[in-house]
Structures are given as structure tokens and as C-alpha cells.
């Protein structure tokens, strides 16, 4: 028996859609029949059928406005928004090295793109009385690592609270809003980091992975999630199969968060 996600003909916007989790979300939604607009600062020269790429810097208000304009204009509107964009470039060293510039960089990367895009796109969804928004946060909103990710974790916590509040406001108008919180995901960047740690410690790739897992307090499953596993969860959540799901958080972390 097949499990049809019923996404044929749906239009989806995926931010951060060229690498890691975002690229996997683009692939899964396209394979399920959606037409996908993937946004990143640098984009491939060619698009596979069903995928459109748009280059924009979503850490700026102007970049978000340009994407919203494209979505509501040439792209023809949107049914699904998956806000995958996020990350951290803050240095290690705890609170003392986080000056205002570092704080605003993390907020403009992890919170404001979702806030700005939702604000621009929601009126059209509300007018239609349907739509779904997924905010990709992180288990770090509940499990921060103070040495280097205080600002990132706080920005993800702000995104989580914003997402919950938004769901209470717009769900009665037909829009579902859901959070997905990954633990460690084995993206290209994560592989590079494990390889770098392995070289520094004189061990192999599996040894590098163990160093990262130990820094997280261990992963009971014994491995990071694959980007496709996170994307499969998101594809289900944006589909009509999940029509009763809104205002909740889905953690996908192999058991990393030690509490319920
Ligand atoms: N990886 C993990 O272990 C992990 C764990 C928990 C949560 N998460 C969350 O999951 C999400 C995806 O993470 P990931 O590791 O899969 O990401 P990633 O592999 O680093 O990919 C980031 C994507 O975002 C784009 N991007 C970066 N800055 C941008 C900007 N200013 N404007 C537009 N696009 C931009 C990148 O393309 P360009 O560079 O060309 O712009 C790329 O497509 C993030 O929200 C992250 O916080 C990840």
C-alpha cells in the first residue's frame, strides 16, 4: 500500500534550500508532487523539473521582501512555507565574546527571516483560508551549549515561542504552524566538522562523530539524523495527512534531549 502525501500541485517555499536539511526537503517535496521554490544566497545554474531556485540574502529585510514579492508574483502564491534557514557563526568563549553584532547576526539568521517572510506571505494564505508553515528550530532552544551557541540557542528559543504564538493566532484562520527541532544532523557541514575534529584528535571519522556526540551529552540512538530523515518528517507535517497537527513541536534527535 502506498502512502500518498497528497502534495500534487501544491506550491512550497523552502528557505536554505540548497544544502543540508533544506536541500533534502526540496527533494522530498518535489518527489511528492509539489512545485518548490528553493532560496539561498548562491544557487545552482540548472533546476530539475518542479524546482525553481531564487538567490537572495534572507538575513536582510530587503532579501526577504524580494523573495516574498517573487512568491506572490511570478511563482503564483504559496501553500507551504518551510523555514529551514538557520545556523551559527559565533565564536567560542561564552557570553563575553558575544557583542551586539554577534547577537544581531544570530537573530537575523535564525529568527527574523521567518518573521519577515510569514508577515509578507500570511495575508494571502489567510485570504484563501489554508496553508501550512514549518519553522525549523533546534533542540538547542532547550539544550544550549554555553561555550559557543548561547546566541544561536536563544534565537531558536525566540523562533519557537514566536511559532507557538503565531499558531494560536492563525490556526483558527485555516493556517497550520508547526515546529521541527532537530538534534545533530549529518549534513555536509557536519561531516566536515567531524573530519576536522578527527584530524585534530588523531582519530578516524567515526571517532570525530563520537567527539561531537559526547559534547551533546550522548545520543542514545548512537548516530546523528540523516537530512532525509528530517525532510521526511517535514513532508508528512506539511501534507494534508497531518491536517489535525498545529502548534506543536516535533523533536528528531535520536533521544539526545535527556528529559521527556
Ligand atoms: N545541522 C545540524 O546538526 C542542525 C541541528 C539542529 C538544527 N539545525 C537547523 O536546521 C536548519 C538547517 O541546517 P543545515 O545544517 O541543514 O544547514 P546548512 O547545511 O548549513 O545549509 C544552509 C542553507 O541555508 C543557505 N543560507 C545560509 N545563509 C543564508 C542567507 N543569509 N540567506 C539565504 N540563504 C542562506 C545556504 O546556502 P548559501 O550559503 O548559498 O546561502 C544553504 O542552502 C537550520 O535552521 C539549523 O539551525 C541543524
Cα 121 to Cα 108: distance, rounded to the nearest angstrom: 18
Q: Per mean pLDDT, which range of 38-52, 104-118, 187-201 is the poorest?
A: 187-201
Cβ atoms of 56 and 39 closer than 8 Å: yes
pTM over 0.95? The answer is yes
Band (pLDDT 50/70/90 cuts) for residue 2 is confident
User: Which residues does 214 contact at the CB level (< 8 Å), separation at least 6?
Assistant: none
Statement: residue 253 has pLDDT above 90:
yes
Is 80 exceeded by the pLDDT of residue 134?
yes
Task: Tell me the fold of 11-185+225-252.
Answer: Rossmann fold (3.40.50)
Label residue 199 by pLDDT band (50, 70, 90). Answer: very high
How do residues 73-111 score in pLDDT, each as one tens digit? Answer: 999 999 999 999 999 999 999 999 999 999 999 999 999
Ligand 1 mean position, distance from CA 246 (Å): 24
- Determine contact, residues 144/90, Cβ cutoff 8 Å: no
Domain boundaries of the chain, sorted by first residue: 11-185+225-252
Report the percentage of the chain scoring pLDDT > 70.
100
Spatial contact of 194 and 187, defined as CB atoms under 8 Å apart = no
- Tell me what the pLDDT averaged over the chain comes to: 96
**Residue 260: pLDDT over 80:** no
Nearest protein CA to atom 1 of ligand 1, as residue: 185
What would the mean pLDDT of 50-75 be, rounded to a whole number?
98
Q: How much is the pLDDT for 152? A: 96
Alpha-carbon gap, residue 225 to 85, rounded angstroms: 18
* 93 CA distance to ligand 1 middle (Å): 23
Separation CA 149–CA 94 (nearest Å): 8
Question: Mind giving me the DSSP string for 143-161?
Answer: S--TTT-HHHHHHHHHHHH
If one residue of 45, 85, 90 were mutated to test the ligand 1 pocket, choosing by the most ligand atoms within 8 A of its CB, it would be: 85
Amino acid at each position: 500500500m502506498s502512502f500518498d502525501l497528497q502534495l500534487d500541485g501544491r506550491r512550497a517555499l523552502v528557505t536554505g534550500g540548497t544544502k543540508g536539511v533544506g536541500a533534502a526537503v526540496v527533494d522530498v517535496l518535489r518527489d511528492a508532487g509539489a512545485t518548490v521554490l528553493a532560496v539561498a544566497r548562491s544557487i545552482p545554474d540548472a533546476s530539475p523539473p518542479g524546482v525553481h531556485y531564487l538567490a537572495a540574502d534572507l538575513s536582510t529585510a530587503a532579501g526577504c521582501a524580494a523573495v516574498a514579492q517573487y512568491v506572490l508574483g511570478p511563482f503564483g502564491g504559496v501553500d507551504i512555507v518551510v523555514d529551514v534557514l538557520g545556523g551559527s557563526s559565533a565564536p567560542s568563549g561564552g557570553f563575553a565574546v558575544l557583542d551586539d553584532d554577534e547577537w544581531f547576526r544570530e537573530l537575523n539568521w535564525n529568527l527574523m527571516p521567518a518573521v519577515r517572510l510569514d508577515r509578507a506571505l500570511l495575508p494571502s494564505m489567510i485570504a484563501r483560508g489554508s496553508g501550512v508553515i514549518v519553522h525549523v528550530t533546534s533542540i538547542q532552544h532547550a539544550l544550549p551549549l554555553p561555550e559557543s551557541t548561547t546566541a544561536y540557542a536563544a534565537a531558536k528559543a525566540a523562533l519557537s515561542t514566536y511559532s507557538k504564538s503565531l499558531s494560536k493566532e492563525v490556526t483558527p484562520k485555516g493556517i497550520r504552524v508547526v515546529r521541527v527541532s532537530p538534534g545533530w544532523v549529518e549534513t555536509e557541514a557536519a561531516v566536515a566538522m567531524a573530519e576536522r575534529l578527527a584530524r585534530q584528535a588523531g582519530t578516524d571519522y567515526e571517532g570525530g562523530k563520537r567527539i561531537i556526540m559526547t559534547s551533546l551529552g550522548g545520543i542514545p540512538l548512537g548516530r546523528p539524523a540523516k537530512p532525509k530523515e528530517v525532510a521526511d518528517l517535514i513532508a508528512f507535517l506539511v501534507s494534508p495527512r497531518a491536517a489535525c497537527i498545529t502548534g506543536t513541536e516535533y523533536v528528531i534527535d535520536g533521544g539526545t534531549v535527556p528529559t521527556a
